[in-house]
Amino acid sequence: MSKNNAKAYWKENIRYVLILMFIWFIVSFGAGILFKDALNEFKVGGFKVGFWFAQQGSMYVFVLLIFVYVRLMNKLDKKYGYDE
Amino acid sequence: MVMMNSLVIEGIGVQNWTYIIVGLTFTLYIGIAIWSRAGSTKEFYVAGGGVSPLANGMATAADWMSAASFISMAGIISFSGYDGAVYLMGWTGGYVLLALLLAPYLRKFGKFTVPDFIGDRYYSNTARLVGVICALIVSFTYVAGQMRGVGLVFSRFLEVDINTGVIIGMIIVLFYAVLGGMKGVTYTQVAQYCVLIFAFMVPAIFISIQMTGNPIPQLGFGDQLADGSGTYLLDKLDGLSTDLGFSEYTEGSKSLIDVFAITLALMVGTAGLPHVIVRFFTVKRVKDARKSAGIALLLITILYTTAPAVAVFARTNMIETVSNQPYADMPEWFKKWETTGLITFTDKNGDGLIQYVANETENELVVDNDIIVLANPEIAQLPDWVIALVAAGALAAALSTAAGLLLVISASVSHDLIKKIINPKISEKNELIAARLAAVAAVGVAGYFGINPPGFVAATVALAFGLAAASFFPAIILGIFYKKMNKEGAISGMVIGILSMLFYMTKFKFGWFGGGTQADWWFGISPEGFGTVAMALNFIVSIVIMRFTPEPPKAVQDLVENIRIPSNAGEATH
């Protein structure tokens, strides 16, 4: 594989990682910690929203993020011919 | 209740049920160990490298969920309310870091251990040695806690002496870790995951139905009470808590900066723990490493999203059972746990009632965190076999983690220390013997700490994450994402990182270096959260030192470019 190919692949990978890490930060440190008090003003069922993100929601999003990454990277591997 | 009672076979009793269920699961583990014993160093260190993503995901989940996750976590959340979220987010969010930043590249790198990566990437046996020392410190602090968990379960449920319990646990682990190596441990962990998740979910579902009528605990604890009052369970618990002088359950009492720091330290620490990272060396391809990280987190999340529900159910049940009730009327479980010393009641005002309140001078009841999960089925009056199942689940959680840690310790000694540093000419056969001997020695040391727990064991288990965050995480991340990072930078970063963490932890936990109280914490950050600061320090030191020292050789820079490309991962090699 050419060097340019590898560089372009790496660049796209980093872009995915940055976007997904941003979401990772927002749901946990954002919704679950920094903005918890503001979100706790709202309730869904018996859950205050900030509390729910801290003890439930953030974890569901974490799982989703990894599977989204798996899909994106499998596609990217194919696009650049690194698939096995 | 009718349905539940029909499940009880009359006359067997909790203890016999426990012997039956624990006996069956132990037979299963030993059977797997004999079937999957390791014949080569490759099988011993990385299970031959051909583990499927699903099996690896299950094994990783069991490896990861320790006595702390199974026994202690729900209890800690139960007593700390919102603040418990630091463990929930911290111990799951780290898997996102693992899947996105570490696992695929370390798998492509294709070696046996974490110090292997550190040593090769930083072209230096000094770096390798620092890696070995960090791996040993982290793993030993962690494994001692597991052995204590095994002893605790045995002593309570089988009514044997705690030391006998630890010794039985040691023999079982010795058997399948030494015989089977990573291969045996992997397939035993798959079985242990099934046992522990079943054991955790069954009582949670029963109790959720009892309290809210909702069979899904994750939804149940946000639901209305089953008594038809229309009150939400969480609102009721907030009310009960404030009535007794505690802070509102859904609000917590830690400072924002400390919650932030602890969560980050636990996330980064999770991603830096050698016994977790090494699991990703066992799959075939890079894409399998990514996928199995996802599967592992999914399987872990099942328990981790149930734990806060269990915490709420148990807290509510407990307050209602004990608060302002006559001591003489306490149910049988209360008396049983009193004999283990995990519940203590002192009738300070002599009125015969139990005052359970936040004010420490008036409070008469002390309940240990660890009781919540273990006693929960009894508190909710579930059938005997469910209580026995919880004992088997707790043992599965503790043993699977202990085995994973023992392998890291044995590989660090036989592979990183003996083969890579002391005697590179050692034959494969002798290295395998060394690995097994190291595992035996490690079990011995772990058992010793389980029987004679140094007072600080419980504290240091949580701090193992800080140590991993302060040492490995930055060195690995920089090794992958920063091609120009050199050995001088990485070594000084790791040394400064782990030393500053050790300093802060010993100062505030054991009173060394003049000690100090909460008021003296730097920036209001607790020792548990200090891993975040030590990690930042590691990154800064690494980058600054790198600027003033020669850049890494061309071959190493090429290696970094190579691990970024997923194809041709090949097999893990020496």
> Is residue A52's pLDDT more than 60?
yes
Question: pLDDT value at position B5?
Answer: 44
Which residue in the set A28, A52, A67 is minimally distant from B89, CB to CB? A28
Q: Which residue has the tokens 């076979």?
A: B9
Instruction: From chain A, pick out residues whose CB is under 8 angstroms from the CB of B305.
Output: 55-56, 59-60
Question: pLDDT value at position B460?
Answer: 63
Which residue of chain A comes nearest to B101, CA vs CA? A17
**Cβ pair A40:B567 closer than 8 A:** no
Whole-number Å distance between alpha carbons of B53 and B528: 33
Domain count, chain B: 1
Is position B17 within any domain?
no
Choosing among A62, A65, A83, which should be mutated to test the B contact, i.e. which has the most B CBs within 10 A? A62
Is position B474 within any domain?
yes
Which residue of chain A comes nearest to B217, CA vs CA? A56
Interface size between A and B, measured as CB pairs under 8 A: 131
**Cβ pair A62:B263 closer than 8 A:** no
**Cβ pair B564:A13 closer than 8 A:** yes
Is position B571 within any domain?
no
Whole-number Å distance between alpha carbons of B499 and B534: 9
Whole-number Å distance between alpha carbons of B396 and B394: 5
Whole-number Å distance between alpha carbons of B175 and B439: 10
Q: Where are the alpha helices (DSSP H) in B369-522?
A: 371-379, 384-411, 428-451, 457-481, 487-510
Report the sign of the C-alpha dihedral through residues B510, B63, B574, B121, in that order.
Answer: negative
Q: Kindly give the parts of chain B with pLDDT less than 50.
A: 1-10
Instruction: From chain B, pick out residues whose CB is under 8 angstroms from the CB of A7.
Output: none
Instruction: From chain A, pick out residues whose CB is under 8 angstroms from the CB of B248.
Output: none
**Cβ pair B287:A84 closer than 8 A:** yes
Which residue in the set A58, A65, A84 is minimally distant from B567, CB to CB? A84
Our CA-based measurement puts residue B44 at a distance from the nearest CA of chain A, in whole angstroms, of: 26
B540: three-class secondary structure by DSSP:
helix
A12 contacts chain B (CB < 8 A) = no
DSSP state of B283: B
Which residue of chain A comes nearest to B221, CA vs CA? A46
Instruction: From chain A, pick out residues whose CB is under 8 angstroms from the CB of B96.
Output: 20-21, 24, 62, 65-66
Question: pLDDT value at position B450?
Answer: 77
A35 contacts chain B (CB < 8 A) = no
Which residue of chain B comes nearest to A66, CA vs CA? B294
Question: pLDDT value at position B122?
Answer: 95
User: For residue B217, what are the contacts with CB-CB under 8 A and spacing of at least 6?
Assistant: B201, B204, B205, B207, B208, B306, B309, B310, B313
Whole-number Å distance between alpha carbons of B330 and B529: 39
SS (H, E, C) B344-409: EECCCCCCCECCCCCCCCCCCEEECCCHHHHHHHHHCCCCHHHHHHHHHHHHHHHHHHHHHHHHHH
User: For residue B243, what are the contacts with CB-CB under 8 A and spacing of at least 6?
Assistant: none
Domain limits for position B327: 26-563
Our CA-based measurement puts residue B467 at a distance from the nearest CA of chain A, in whole angstroms, of: 21
Which residue in the set B82, B95, B223 is minimally distant from A46, CB to CB? B223
Q: Which residue has the tokens 């100090």?
A: B516
β-pair partners for B326: B353
Which residue of chain A comes nearest to B235, CA vs CA? A46
Which residue of chain A comes nearest to B290, CA vs CA? A70
Which residue in the set B222, B297, B566 is minimally distant from A47, CB to CB? B222
Q: Kindly state the tokens that stand for A23.
A: 């979401």
Choosing among B249, B250, B477, B532, which should be mutated to test the A contact, i.e. which has the most A CBs within 10 A? B250
Whole-number Å distance between alpha carbons of B192 and B172: 13
Is position B3 within any domain?
no
**Cβ pair A54:B88 closer than 8 A:** yes
B189 phi and psi angles, rounded to 5 deg = -65, -35
Is position B18 within any domain?
no
pLDDT digits (tens, 9 = 90+) for B98-119: 999 999 999 999 888 899 999 9
Q: Tell me, what amino acid is at A62?
A: F
* Burial of B522 per CB tally in 10 Å (0-12, 13-18, 19+): exposed
Whole-number Å distance between alpha carbons of B195 and B26: 11
> How many CB atoms within 10 Å of residue B567?
16
Residue B411 near residue B395 (C-beta atoms within 8 A): no
Q: Which residue has the tokens 């036989």?
A: B414
Give the ipTM: 0.96
**Cβ pair A6:B564 closer than 8 A:** yes
Nearest partner of B570 among B284, B250, B309, judged by Cα: B284
Which residue of chain B comes nearest to A64, CA vs CA? B294
CA B453 to chain centre: 18
Instruction: From chain A, pick out residues whose CB is under 8 angstroms from the CB of B218.
Output: 56
Our CA-based measurement puts residue B66 at a distance from the nearest CA of chain A, in whole angstroms, of: 18
Q: What is the CATH number of the domain that holds B213?
A: 1.20.1730.10
Q: Which residue has the tokens 């370390």?
A: B106
pLDDT digits (tens, 9 = 90+) for B389-414: 998 999 899 888 888 888 888 888 89
Is position B414 within any domain?
yes
User: For residue B519, what are the contacts with CB-CB under 8 A and spacing of at least 6?
Assistant: none
β-pair partners for B365: B345
Whole-number Å distance between alpha carbons of A38 and A51: 11
**Cβ pair A46:B234 closer than 8 A:** yes
Across B240-355, the runs of DSSP E, i.e. the strands, are 343-345
Instruction: From chain B, pick out residues whose CB is under 8 angstroms from the CB of A78.
Output: none
Residue B78 near residue B207 (C-beta atoms within 8 A): no
pLDDT digits (tens, 9 = 90+) for A23-50: 999 999 999 999 999 999 999 989 999 9
A39 contacts chain B (CB < 8 A) = no
User: For residue B489, what are the contacts with CB-CB under 8 A and spacing of at least 6?
Assistant: B478, B541, B542, B543, B544, B545, B546, B549
Record the pTM. 0.92
What burial letters (b/e) apply to B150-187, b meaning 16+ CB within 10 Å?
A: bbbbbbbbbeeebeebbbbbbebbbbbbbbbbbbbbbb
Which residue of chain A comes nearest to B249, CA vs CA? A51
Which residue in the set A13, A46, A83 is minimally distant from B232, CB to CB? A46
pLDDT digits (tens, 9 = 90+) for A58-78: 999 999 999 999 999 999 999
Q: Kindly state the tokens that stand for B481.
A: 């994402």
B324 phi and psi angles, rounded to 5 deg = 60, 20
